[in-house]
Amino acid sequence: MLTDTHCHLYLDKFDDDRDDVIRRAVEAGVEKMLVPGLDLESSQAAVKLAESHSNVFAAVGFHPTDIEKMTSESFDELSKLAEHPKVVAIGEIGLDYYWVKEPNQRLIQKQKLLPQLELANAVNKPVIIHLREENNSESGDATKDILEILVGWHEKLRRLNHPFYFKPGVFHSFNGNLESARRVMDMNYHIGITGPVTYKNAESQRKLVKQLPLDRILIETDSPFLTPVPYRGRRNEPVFVGHIADKIAELHQSTRRHVAETTSANANRLFDWEADS
C-alpha cells in the first residue's frame, strides 16, 4: 500500500472532482493521504476534508510565503485547530528565499517559524518543513538559516527528553545536496521525495536519492504541482504517487512493493496514524 504524505487537495484545481481524485487514489492502492495547510483558511479546509474521508489526514501551519497572514489572532485559531485528532503534523512551515527577496521579509519568516515549532512541541506533532533557496539552488542562505534554527530546536527537544527528538518531522520535496541531507537525517528528519526525481534534467536528485536510506524516505506528490513523468504537464494527484515509488525502486534496485511498504511504514511511525486507518 502506498502513502502520499503531501497533497493540497483543498485547492480549487480539485473543485470539480475532489471526491473522484480521492477514490482513484484509494482504488490504486494509496492507503493514506496527508493534506498540509498553507494558512489558517487552507488549514481549516484540510481538516474539513480529513473529517469527511477516513483515509485523509491534515497538517496545519503557515507557509513561509503566506506568513503575513500569521497574526496573533490567526495563530491562536490555528493552535486550537492543531489539537484536532485528524491533524497529525504542523505544516507546511519553513523558509522560502525563492519568492521572498527582501532581507526584512526573510527575517520575519525566521521569527514566525519559531512559534510554529513551539506549537509542534506543545501538541506533540511533527513538523513538515518547506525549504526553497533563491534560484532553486541546492544550498545557500535558506539552508544555513533553517539548519541553525532547527539545531537549536532539536537541542531543546533533547534537553526536554521530548519524544519528537527521535522523529521531529520531514523536509518536504527535498532539493538539497547530500551534505545537507546528512545533517537533516542526523537530526532524525525524514526526506520527502516528489515528482522531479522522475524528470530528465534531475540527475543530481536521482544521485542523491540513490544514497538515501529507504527508512528515511517519504513519498509525496505535492498535488496539484510537480506531476511525475509520464504525466508531466497535467494536474498532479495522489494516484500518481506510484510513479515516484517506481523511480525510487529503480534507483535502489528494489521493487515498488518494497518501496511502498517501507515508505508507508516510515509515515506510520512519523505521524502515528496507523491506529486511525
- The domains of the chain are located at 2-276
pTM for this one?
A: 0.96
Report percent pLDDT > 90 for the chain.
95
Sign of CA dihedral 48, 53, 58, 64: negative
Helix (H, G, I), strand (E, B) or coil at 137: coil
pLDDT digits (tens, 9 = 90+) for 122-175: 999 999 999 999 988 999 999 999 999 999 999 999 999 998 999 999 999 999
pLDDT band at 93 (very low <50, low <70, confident <90, very high): very high
2-276 folds as TIM Barrel (3.20.20)
pLDDT band at 274 (very low <50, low <70, confident <90, very high): low
When computed from its CA atoms, the radius of gyration of the chain, rounded to whole angstroms, is: 17
What CA–CA distances, in Å, run from 163 to 9, 34, 95, 255?
A: 30, 21, 25, 32
pLDDT band at 277 (very low <50, low <70, confident <90, very high): very low
pLDDT digits (tens, 9 = 90+) for 202-237: 999 999 999 999 999 999 999 999 999 999 999 999
User: What pLDDT, on a 0 to 100 scale, did the predictor assign at position 90?
Assistant: 98
User: What pLDDT, on a 0 to 100 scale, did the predictor assign at position 61?
Assistant: 98
pLDDT band at 102 (very low <50, low <70, confident <90, very high): confident
